[in-house]
């Protein structure tokens, strides 16, 4: 049963109280030095309705490192430009392996399993850069427009930190380039990819920016970014692949398309109703926010809003 709500605030306040008493919060992504000092006790959550009304609790206006959350947006921007030809270069299946794994690429001739593992995200960023001439700038412009926040920007310290520790991503890019599945010079691609992941935004910003997926491809200004079918495709891949190799458990617990990042953020979509973003930087062993997944689980349980 879906509970009819005039405001999401009572639900968010109840969730925030429950999260406050949550035990272990996980650990921040300490393999990226710029993220290692994040406080696992921080928590924010926002819900954006289709008309742009936003509700939030906790640290919902605090910018954080978006990291892999941005992969949902680059996928949409690339799909809008390239259409189904994109799927010749990246698959749509769960990987079953860690997000930075090289294992499957050799068996599958340099074609990544899906757009949300690192190899697949590198392919999408590569193709968006070929199509736009400025992949990271194109993404930043989109997020600024959809969130209404012109102050969104790259975090240069985070980008530099990821560059310093970027050997695995460089290996993925060079390996795919050897199969002809990367078209830009690898150093150019890595620069764009690390800049993309370094964007800092708040729960409010990201809940608003994700709204086009709840509006079946329609942007905040009423223009169409994706066809209804393409919006369905992005949501479907988010549901099955958006939380690394924990996507099955996330679908079981939350029941919404979602995309997580190792900065502790998770976006989620209730098609035709609203979008959410939750942030808490303490991660589980699979790279997903412990408090974030728990909060989204409680949201769908309390409200009855899910895709099932």
Which residues are designated catalytic? 68, 71, 193, 244, 262
C-alpha torsion sign, points 75, 145, 259, 47: negative
Structural element, H or E, at residue 57: strand 54-58
Cα(134)–Cα(129) distance, integer angstroms: 5
CA angle 151, 158, 131 (to 5 degrees): 70
Q: Is the dihedral of CA 73, 33, 265, 147 positive or negative?
A: negative
268 three-state secondary structure: strand
Contact 135, 192 (CB under 8 A): yes
3-state secondary structure of 220: coil
H or E stretch including 125?
helix 118-132
Quote the Cα angle for 224-228-229, to 5°.
130
CB atoms within 10 A of CB 39: 13
Rounded distance between C-alpha atoms, residue 152 and residue 200, angstroms: 7
Beta bridge partners of 46: 56, 277
């Amino acid at each position: 049963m879906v509970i009819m709500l005039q405001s999401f605030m009572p639900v968010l306040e109840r969730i925030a109280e429950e999260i406050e008493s949550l035990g272990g919060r996980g650990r921040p992504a300490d393999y990226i030095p710029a993220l290692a000092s994040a406080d696992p006790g921080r928590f924010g959550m926002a819900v954006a309705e289709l008309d742009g009304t936003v509700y939030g609790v906790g640290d919902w206006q605090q910018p954080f490192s978006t990291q892999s959350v941005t992969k949902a947006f680059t996928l949409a921007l690339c799909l809008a430009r390239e259409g189904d030809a994109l799927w010749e270069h990246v698959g749509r299946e769960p990987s079953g392996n860690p997000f930075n794994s090289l294992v499957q690429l050799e068996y599958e001739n340099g074609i990544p399993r899906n757009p949300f593992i690192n190899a697949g995200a590198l392919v999408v960023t590569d193709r968006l850069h070929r199509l736009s001439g400025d992949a990271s700038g194109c993404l930043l412009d989109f997020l600024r427009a959809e969130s209404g926040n012109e102050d969104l920007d790259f975090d240069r310290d985070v980008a530099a930190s990821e560059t310093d520790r970027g050997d695995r991503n460089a290996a993925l890019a060079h390996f795919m380039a050897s199969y002809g599945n990367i078209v830009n010079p690898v150093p150019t691609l890595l620069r764009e990819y690390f800049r993309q992941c370094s964007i800092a935004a708040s729960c409010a910003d990201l809940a608003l920016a994700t709204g086009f997926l709840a509006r079946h491809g329609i942007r905040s200004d009423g223009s169409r970014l994706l066809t209804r079918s393409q919006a369905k495709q992005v949501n479907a891949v988010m549901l099955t692949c958006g939380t690394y190799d924990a996507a099955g458990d996330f679908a079981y617990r939350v029941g919404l398309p979602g995309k997580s990042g190792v900065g502790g953020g998770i976006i989620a979509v209730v098609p035709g109703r609203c979008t959410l973003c939750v942030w808490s930087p303490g991660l589980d062993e699979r790279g997903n926010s412990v408090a974030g997944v728990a909060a989204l689980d409680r949201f769908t349980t309390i409200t009855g809003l899910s895709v099932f």
